[in-house]
Homo-oligomer: A and B are copies of this chain.
């Protein structure tokens, strides 16, 4: 049981990330959490770009998220579009300004620098280890995975070579299956 070692290292990495993210965001008047929201919106699919999904992803209350979103909208970094079929839900679209800001701040500069001096095979090892840790963490605690359609049990490959989501009963474009989804479930839910 190395839970202590693992925890300590993740905590330290987390602290460093947070400090760096705060500094990176400060240049544009943004808080860490605001950057995280934008980042999430840049990697989620069209079923997962709602305030509710952000709430689940960040593990906060809807009130808290609502405030952050209003702030981001006020800064012109995203816009809310009411859903066509359910007028209660809105979809959050990153504005060009938001996108360019994201591109400048993520990934965090310290990670870029670190990867510059890390040999490629080491980087691969690290990614694999992080992936294992993250997946186990989610699985062991029955948390939502928020992973790509790619690995989702609802994702079906059609005869024409395209993709289809069996949950929302809609076809998916090729670039969409690389995005993360709030409904994601692994194929082999071993629990």
Q: Spell out A's residues near B (CB within 8 Å).
A: 1-19, 36, 39, 43, 57-60, 106-118, 120, 122-134, 136-141, 143
Contacts and interface: CB of A to CB of B under 8 A. Distances in A.
B129 A13 contact: no
A107 B4 contact: yes
A13 B140 contact: no
Q: How many copies does the complex hold?
A: 2
Nearest to A133: B126
Contacts of A17: 10-11, 14
Given A117-B140, A136-B117, A140-B114, A107 B3 contact: yes
Given A15-B36, A118-B136, A129-B129, A111 B9 contact: no
Contacts of A137: 13, 16, 110-111, 113-114
A90 B38 CA distance: 41
A24 to B, nearest CB: 12
B129 A125 contact: yes
A6 B110 contact: no
Given A9-B130, A130-B13, A132-B122, A115 B59 contact: no
A155 to B, nearest CB: 20
A84 to B, nearest CB: 30
Given A6-B107, A9-B130, 14 more contacts: A2-B120, A6-B130, A7-B107, A11-B36, A13-B14, A14-B17, A16-B59, A16-B134, A16-B138, A19-B58, A110-B137, A114-B141, A122-B132, A129-B130
Contacts of A108: 7
Contacts of A114: 3, 6, 133, 136-137, 140-141
